[in-house]
Amino acid sequence: MSDIPAAPPPAPPLTAPLGPPAAEDRGFLASQIAFVAAPTPIAAEARESLIARYGECPLPRAAVVVALGGDGFMLETIHQVLVLDVPVYGMNRGSVGFLMNAYSEDDLPGRLSRAQAAELHPLRMHAVTATGAEAEALAFNEVSLLRQLRQASKIRISVDGRVRLAELSCDGVLISTPAGSSAYNLSAHGPIVPLSANLLPLTPISAFRPRRWRGALLPSTADVLFEVLEADKRPTAAVADFTEVRDVVSVAVSADRSVTVTVLFDPDQGLSERIIAEQFTV
């Protein structure tokens, strides 16, 4: 046998780089997109224009849902599609649009397939009213307790079975998800929390006593119980995203990681980046 090593195989011929893949190779077909719109003229017009360009897919058969509106409508859509287990991509046809992407009709299947995914887990609220009625709801932003009349609410706060604040006199109090920490929580002067932090901001709303209490950061595993004191004199409502329960006497809140929704964002505009950037907005 010869000791001369075999020659390496010839290099493949140089070719021009391939162009961008066709829309059907990017992960989403145009025929798989369901469009939903807020009840406003600008959102309805956008939906009609997108359907004319890409067709219309019924929600039960969709691989992805495009929500057209503002942040409030995006939350409604997230709740609506939970049972479908499909991602949601928002395009801003509302006002603030923190959860939305910029509106554009061009290359939508490509934008969807290139988008970054963020998995969100909600809070689960279990409320008991003065009549003994019980109600449950999910919140992807926050659960808030709010006074119903002119007098301040008085609320006892327990965490994991231990009373942490015997009496908070306030306009209200809220507990937020990380994704919702830049919404009502921030307006109430609560901290913004990165998605990866596994923390839940607990924030008072116009606290009267104790006046210096500014809230707390709780682990995402915490079980929180709010008990309304003097409920007859100081009626209080509980709100989970857009579900309101009035005249509550107790509200239990905990994160529910068994429920997940996927929200899509354009590259370099993911939710984690938006939450970080919001902390430097002046």
Phi, psi of 278 (to 5 degrees): -60, -30
| Burial of residue 156 (number of CB atoms within 10 Å: 0-12, 13-18, 19+) | middle
Is residue 253 within 8 Å of 198, Cβ to Cβ? no
Neighbours of 202 (CB within 10 A): 23
Helix (H, G, I), strand (E, B) or coil at 260: coil
Of the residues 71, 247, 256, 266, which is catalytic? 71
- Is 107 one of the catalytic residues? no
End-to-end CA separation in angstroms for the chain: 77
- 252, 223 in Cβ contact below 8 A? yes
β-pairing verdict for 88-92 and 153-159: unpaired
Cβ atoms 61, 86 nearer than 8 A: no
Strand partners of residue 142: 176
Rounded CA gap, 259 and 250, in Å? 23
Catalytic annotation, residues: 71
